[in-house]
């Protein structure tokens, strides 16, 4: 099965598709650094750095499945959504590139990944109607990456597109959850004392709450819904585009390393990342954990 990857980013969709036996023949992103990183890891794929609103789909190889992760920031609850925000308008509009690609190539299948709030977008009914007008059925699946063997709780929407009379709800495996403890190396990293001058009261409060609930070793988040600690016996919470998770070990603490973020996203150990740590974390936080598309494509192949 041949695939193309729109908004390919770091390459989680591509890597997962390859795990499922697909050949990813073309990948595109608007950000050159992401394209360069993707190309370093997938040298057999044709790469394009382009705003996909301007894509010439006639130059894209034939394929059986389209993989697409249009920008999610304009939909996510993690960002403000003030009415008329032009940044969010531009972000949300990337989903229409999926429609134009499908209109030209009419692949047999498609997988579109986003946050669940994508379905509450004001223009989602129009977007859906455009794809249905081309003979596709849409089956939304809201899944947690932890159920696919990723050591991270990451809830995302994946819409399955098929040329079928009715939507196909896939029979997906539910794999055992992997504890966050499996990705943490307590012998590595740059640790600092918890009780040091300048440590914020909010951080100290979260750590105190986490220690009361989980003992001396646990995780705590610097922002988001984690008000205290998170047990290392659970999958870690969502990896984001900037440092979020701190490891607490007795009287010391540190942020997750790039390598630990890679493990949390379930990318292969040999996968090449940017040398700049902040850039690597940003790309990882934007990526799709590869085991998720692997399981979707395998299930789709079985249902087709």
Where do the domains of the chain lie?
2-173+290-303, 186-256
Q: What is residue 228's predicted lDDT score, i.e. its pLDDT?
A: 79
* Alpha carbon distance 184, 187 (integer Å): 9
Closest CA to 153 of 302, 292, 294, 2: 292
Residues ≥6 apart with Cβ < 8 Å to 120: 75
- Provide block-wise average pLDDT over 10 residues at a time, the chain (304 residues): 97 98 97 97 97 95 97 57 55 90 98 96 96 98 98 98 97 98 96 94 92 96 81 97 96 97 98 97 98 98 88
User: What pLDDT sits at residue 10?
Assistant: 98
pLDDT value at residue 208: 95
For residue 226, the model assigns a pLDDT of 72
CA distance 239 to 261: 7
- The Cα 65–Cα 3 span in angstroms is 5
Listed in sequence order, the residues at least 6 apart from 203 whose beta carbon sits closer than 8 Å to its beta carbon are: 220, 222
The pLDDT value given to residue 91:
66
What is the model's pLDDT at position 76?
A: 54
DSSP-derived letter for residue 257 is P
Per DSSP, the three-state class of 138 is: strand
Structure tokens, 196: 């040091």
In 192-285, beta strands by DSSP E: 192-193, 217-221, 245-249, 252-255
Measured CA to CA, the distance from residue 23 to residue 198 in angstroms comes to 52
For every residue of 3-50, DSSP letters joined together read EEEET-TTSHHHHHHHHTT-EEEEEEES-HHHHHHHHHH-TTSEEEES
DSSP states along 114-131: E-GGGGGSTTHHHHHHHH
Instruction: Report the CATH fold assignment for 2-173+290-303.
Output: Rossmann fold (3.40.50)
According to the model, what pLDDT value does residue 224 have? Answer: 73
């Amino acid at each position: 099965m041949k695939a193309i990857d729109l908004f390919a980013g770091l390459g989680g969709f591509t890597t997962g598709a390859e795990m499922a036996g697909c050949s990813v023949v073309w990948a595109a992103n608007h950000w050159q650094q992401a394209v360069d990183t993707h190309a370093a890891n997938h040298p057999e794929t044709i790469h394009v750095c382009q705003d996909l609103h301007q894509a010439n789909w006639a130059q894209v190889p034939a394929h059986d499945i389209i993989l697409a992760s249009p920008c999610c920031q304009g939909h996510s609850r993690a960002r403000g959504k003030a009415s008329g925000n032009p940044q969010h308008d531009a972000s949300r509009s990337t989903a229409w590139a999926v429609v134009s690609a499908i209109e030209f190539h009419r692949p047999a299948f498609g997988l579109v990944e986003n946050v669940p709030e994508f379905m509450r977008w004001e223009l989602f009914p129009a977007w859906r109607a455009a794809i249905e007008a081309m003979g596709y059925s849409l089956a939304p699946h809201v899944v947690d990456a932890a159920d696919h063997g990723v050591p991270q709780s990451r809830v995302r929407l994946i819409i399955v597109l098929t040329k079928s009379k009715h939507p196909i709800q896939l029979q997906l495996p539910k794999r055992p959850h992997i504890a966050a403890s499996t990705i943490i190396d307590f012998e590595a990293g740059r640790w600092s004392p918890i009780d040091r001058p300048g440590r914020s009261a909010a951080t100290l409060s979260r750590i105190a709450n986490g220690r009361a609930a989980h003992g001396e070793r646990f995780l705590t988040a610097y922002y988001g819904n984690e008000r205290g600690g998170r047990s290392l016996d659970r999958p870690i919470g969502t990896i984001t585009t900037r440092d979020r998770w701190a490891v607490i070990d007795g009287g010391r603490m540190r942020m997750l390393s790039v390598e630990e973020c890679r493990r949390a996203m379930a990318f292969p150990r040999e996968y090449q990342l940017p040398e700049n740590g902040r850039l690597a974390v940003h790309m990882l936080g934007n990526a799709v954990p590869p085991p998720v598309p692997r399981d979707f494509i395998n299930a789709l192949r079985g249902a087709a």
